[in-house]
Amino acid sequence: MKKEKLLSILKEEPLFIEGLSSDFIDWDLLLSTVNPSLFFGIGLCTSKEPATAIPFDILSFFFLAEKLQRELSLDTIFVLIADEHARTNTFMTDEIIQKRTNEMKSTCIKVIRNLRLKNFTVILSSDIHTDPQFQTILETMPNMPNQYLQKEIADMTWFTNVKNVRLKLGWSINNDPIPQGHDERFFDSQIRDAHALPLSFLHCKAGKTFDSNRPKASPYISIEGESRILLSPNENVKEKLDLFSTRKDDEMARAALNHMGSIVRLFESLFIRIPKETLAEKIQFIIDLSTHS
């Protein structure tokens, strides 16, 4: 792996937050690791409510990971669905968890299959949590009031020890050096500061919505009532964007459209030039290709 190549990707790819990423790379360790792997996790709920759908923005994770794998010769991209973590929230019943897990796993597998992504592996946290090595890690950790955080730290310890993961791809609300809100930097900072794992952290931008009260959100969680383009085979992108057209001059709406445009441009640089003209048509093309059975 070449340091200059990774720095160039972080600088030139607008979906990355350059400073937050390059500042939290352990260069000596990363450059000395043979065939490192990359990890990103996918949650099923916010801190207050379950997800109700999967947003289009989730593709930023898949496309960024694919770009990194191609240009840095990474070994494996591990996609962890945090079904076991969801149980730490009382509002997440077994029925809700099973439904959300099945939908997320099915969608991830379709994206990987339909886009022919190589060396991507989808794992459920409930599967690795039964591994004896994981149980040993968990037993040696101190008790924490935040059980979600404890499981997250145990996960990353397992992935670094067992799967040679050296890069974690997460998302951030902003580029402030101090973590704010409920993005992944809260967990990343705890892992980095309190547990000396051989891990470097890359951060991409938050997902975008058309809701003025919640313009930035998780790239992989959409909640009830959110104005957002979804990664669903039933999604009608033009119809939805037309509903938001009255706010086309609004700064928030422009930010959402620009963000989706960045995802579209990254898709075209990795796969094919989309034979469509408008942004809505291009987004629809990617959704249809990614989600067909």
- Asked whether 195 and 157 are in contact (CB, 8 A), the reply is yes
**What is the model's pLDDT at position 249?**
58
**The dihedral formed by the CA atoms of 17, 20, 26 and 32, expressed in degrees to the nearest 10:** 10
Residue 223, helix vs strand vs coil: coil
Tokens at 128, concatenated = 């690795």
Q: Note the maximum CA span of the chain.
A: 56
Query: In the chain, where are the structural domains located?
Result: 3-208
Q: CA nearest 45: which of 103, 4, 3?
A: 103
- Sequence-distant (6+) residues with CB within 8 A of 83 are 44, 97, 100, 101, 124, 125, 126
Q: How far is CA 245 from the centre of its chain?
A: 28
- Please tell us whether the domain made up of 3-208 is placed in CATH 3.40.50.620: yes
pTM of full prediction above 0.85: yes
- Sequence-distant (6+) residues with CB within 8 A of 255 are 208, 215
Kindly list the averaged pLDDT for each block of 10 residues, start to end, along the chain of length 293. 90 92 89 94 95 98 97 96 94 97 98 97 96 93 84 92 96 74 75 79 94 90 95 96 73 90 98 96 98 95
**What is the model's pLDDT at position 178?**
65
